[in-house]
Structure 1
């Protein structure tokens, strides 16, 4: 019986263990019946005594979030308002800047690696700014590409010299 990463099956097994313990089976008998270590059954028994059957149900996995849902919404609003509104000299949001805003507003520190998870959860994605000058003159660029560039390009020379290719019979 393989239960790895099947969280529903694991929860079901824990609850079945609780029923068997309630019927008066020993920890060793429950462990053999369910294919787990006796110590695992002892842990279930302790959790049952402290919190009842609810304590055997699956809780949240992983490290708890540092910001609650309201704080995450507030952060989203700050990011949407822009980096200039947050006191930065340019409109570019970077991970270190976002980390500083979170620390300043919520007193919580995130590593830059974990900030990616937070930003994705909020619906943000990585955007690279275009590397173009703000003062570009688009009509002049188009004119130059049509007239200036072709005048500078090398034109193929007339075939006056013989070919040095060994495949050409001339």
Structure 2
């Protein structure tokens, strides 16, 4: 399942966070304490301490956004192809059931794109692109949905009363 808004920080969110760091730098020059700055900017004291140290060591350039921590090995076009492959289902790729696991997706990426990911790397890739973990619903093979509906409409009202 995909989140509608996608995953990870947007460019606007990265810029907003950088503005907060630069606002803290202005407060450092005024001589405000770490706790006061943290409370006003709604961040942790430890973050303010790290920003103060980065400002001392690298100036205002030390507070600028460095961009994403890692560049994904699959580009946007390749990820779109991966999504199409995932939509086909595990049966189409040789697995015996209809469950996608991270290990299976890792294998699929290796086969299709000749790119190696760890299982954790696959999870980060999927989350970065708005996917979430879904657990399959387990139901009894003998389940009769018609009988369940009849019970809910006829028997349950009597039991409830």
TM-score normalised by the chain length of structure 2: 0.50
State the structure with bigger RCO (CA 8 A, min sep 6), 1 or 2.
2
More helix by share: 2
